[in-house]
Amino acid sequence: MSEDIKNRHSSVPWKQIAGSGNVYRHDYEDVAAQMIWETVQRALPALKAMVAEELARCDEQRPQ
């Protein structure tokens, strides 16, 4: 993510997200189903809203 996006969404725990991504990519055999479910239930809704906001921002800035 760009620093601009991170600054606009400073409430998002970017370092934790990056850390989780590393675990999911490199230690996936040790990831418990509960950890995945908690991520889906707790983190993804806020991230989805942030992505929707950024996409709307891109649409607004796109030349007609």
pTM higher than the cut 0.85: no
The pLDDT, as a whole number, for residue 39 is 82
Specify the number of domains making up the chain: 1
Domain span at residue 25? 3-61
- CA 10 → CA 15, 25, 33, 57, distances in Å? 11, 24, 28, 17
24, 31 Cβ separation under 8 angstroms: yes
Instruction: Write down the pLDDT at residue 53.
Output: 94
Span 2-61, pLDDT tens digits: 999 999 999 888 888 888 877 778 777 777 888 888 888 888 888 899 999 999 999 888
